[in-house]
């Protein structure tokens, strides 16, 4: 199988390594708008060669979109306009509803398999790519009934070989759930970093005293803004919904602290501890 990966950053680069490490592709080509990133991807051996989209469409069995989510609907449509019946297009974006809505009525929609591997780090670019990144991580396949059986089977096979449990959802369900388990974590981390940076103007030693708890909580604030701004806006209504609830919970905790409500704080935190039953 010949594969082209469009976008050679954290996700695309790690996927390229996974395909190579598991013998899933005979040749991996890359499409990358940044010349610097393209050169680095070659130096790191993420891809065998850099191509343009015309060469990718001419030579590839599988085309993988691993670019920011706001680029996916247009790029997917352009590729579906030219894709052949024996080629497969898959994406790896964090939001799915806009992509699936835009491509739903396309005559070649069956060649697209919409996926979201539930993995990532705060790092970006080709140097962020790591081996065996996806093993043990779930992957969501959206609106599988709209994909051709052979395309779906091939993508399922790839993810199974990579050791990824597969979940099936509608695009709408996927975006709703990701707002709660992924997107809120990032926006909260950005907000915490901004809060502490603002406070640090007054207390110069705050970062000297920062411990492991702060570092782990704020880690996601190191993530690439150009990746996350489109995700927040693309999943706007779900993100706003979870933000409202998050702010509500913060206000409840603030009122308890204002009232010196020790019992209320303990009860609230005990309820929060139940997350252990889910995240073991």
Q: Can you list the positions of beta strands (E) in the chain?
A: 2-6, 27-31, 49-50, 62-65, 88-91, 112-117, 139-142, 166-169
Cβ 90 vs Cβ 64: under 8 Å: yes
Please report, for residues 124, 192, 245, 252, the alpha-carbon distance to residue 258 in angstroms, rounded to integers and kept in the order given. Answer: 41, 20, 20, 10
- Please spell the DSSP secondary structure of 65-87, one letter per residue: E-S-GGGHHHHHHHHHHH--TT-
Tens digit of each residue's pLDDT (9 = 90 or more) over 164-194? 999 999 999 999 999 998 899 999 999 988 8
Q: Which residues pair with 63 in a beta bridge?
A: 4, 89
Tens digit of each residue's pLDDT (9 = 90 or more) over 23-32? 999 999 999 9
Closest CA to 13 of 140, 87, 121: 121
Per-residue confidence (pLDDT) for residue 202, from 0 to 100: 62
Mean pLDDT of 59-78: 96
2-6 and 166-169: which strand pairing? unpaired
Per-residue confidence (pLDDT) for residue 121, from 0 to 100: 86
- Shared domain for 62 and 136, answered yes or no, is yes
Cβ 66 vs Cβ 92: under 8 Å: yes
Per-residue confidence (pLDDT) for residue 66, from 0 to 100: 97
- Shared domain for 151 and 199, answered yes or no, is no
Question: How many domains is the chain built from?
Answer: 2
Mean pLDDT of 51-67: 95
Domain span at 260 = 174-277
Query: What CATH number is attached to the domain comprising 206?
Result: 1.10.3660.10
Helices 236-258 and 184-199: crossing angle in degrees, nearest 10, is 50
Last residue of a domain, one of 119, 137, 169: 169
- Shared domain for 80 and 207, answered yes or no, is no
- Shared domain for 104 and 225, answered yes or no, is no
Tens digit of each residue's pLDDT (9 = 90 or more) over 88-147? 999 999 999 999 999 999 999 999 999 999 998 888 999 999 999 999 999 999 999 999
Sign of the Cα torsion 108, 1, 13, 55 reads: negative
- Shared domain for 99 and 236, answered yes or no, is no
Per-residue confidence (pLDDT) for residue 203, from 0 to 100: 64
Percent of the chain with pLDDT over 90: 82
- Shared domain for 134 and 11, answered yes or no, is yes
Per-residue confidence (pLDDT) for residue 154, from 0 to 100: 98
Mean pLDDT of 204-231: 79
- Shared domain for 120 and 161, answered yes or no, is yes
Tokens of 86: 């024996």
- Shared domain for 73 and 150, answered yes or no, is yes
62-65 and 49-50: which strand pairing? unpaired
Torsion (CA) 96, 98, 104, 110 in degrees, nearest 10: -30
Secondary structure element (H or E) that encloses residue 19, with its range: helix 10-21
Per-residue confidence (pLDDT) for residue 93, from 0 to 100: 95
- Shared domain for 10 and 131, answered yes or no, is yes
DSSP code of 197?
A: H
- Shared domain for 204 and 239, answered yes or no, is yes
Last residue of a domain, one of 129, 149, 169: 169
Query: What CATH number is attached to the domain comprising 132?
Result: 3.40.50.720
- Shared domain for 43 and 159, answered yes or no, is yes
Last residue of a domain, one of 169, 184, 218: 169
88-91 and 112-117: which strand pairing? parallel
| Residue 212: band (very low, low, confident or very high) from pLDDT cuts 50, 70, 90 | low
Backbone φ, ψ for residue 142 (5° rounding): -100, 140
- Shared domain for 34 and 136, answered yes or no, is yes
Percent of the chain with pLDDT over 70: 95
| Residue 220: band (very low, low, confident or very high) from pLDDT cuts 50, 70, 90 | confident
């Amino acid at each position: 199988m010949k594969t082209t990966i469009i976008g050679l950053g954290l996700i695309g680069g790690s996927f390229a390594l996974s395909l190579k490490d598991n013998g899933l592709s005979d040749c991996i080509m890359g499409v990358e708008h940044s010349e610097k990133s393209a050169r680095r991807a070659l130096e790191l051996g993420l891809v065998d060669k850099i191509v343009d989209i015309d060469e990718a469409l001419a030579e590839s069995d599988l085309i993988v979109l691993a670019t920011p989510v706001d680029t996916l609907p247009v790029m997917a449509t352009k590729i579906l306009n030219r894709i052949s019946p024996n080629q497969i297009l898959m994406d790896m974006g964090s939001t799915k509803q806009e992509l699936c809505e835009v491509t739903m009525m396309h005559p070649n929609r069956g060649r697209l398999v919409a996926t979201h591997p539930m993995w990532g780090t705060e790092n970006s670019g080709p140097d962020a790519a790591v081996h065996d990144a996806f093993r043990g991580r779930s992957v969501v396949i959206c609106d599988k009934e709209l994909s051709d059986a052979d395309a779906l089977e091939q993508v399922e096979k790839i993810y199974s070989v990579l050791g990824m449990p597969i979940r099936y959802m509608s695009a709408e369900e996927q975006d709703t759930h990701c707002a709660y388990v992924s997107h809120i974590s990032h926006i909260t981390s950005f907000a915490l970093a901004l809060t502490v940076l603002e406070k640090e103007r007054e207390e110069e030693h705050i970062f000297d005293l920062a411990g492991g708890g702060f570092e782990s909580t704020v880690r996601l604030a190191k993530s690439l803004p150009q990746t996350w701004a489109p995700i927040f806006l693309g999943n706007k209504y779900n993100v706003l919904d979870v933000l409202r609830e998050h702010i509500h919970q913060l206000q409840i905790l603030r009122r308890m602290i204002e009232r010196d409500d020790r019992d209320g704080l303990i009860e609230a935190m005990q309820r929060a501890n139940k997350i252990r039953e889910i995240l073991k």
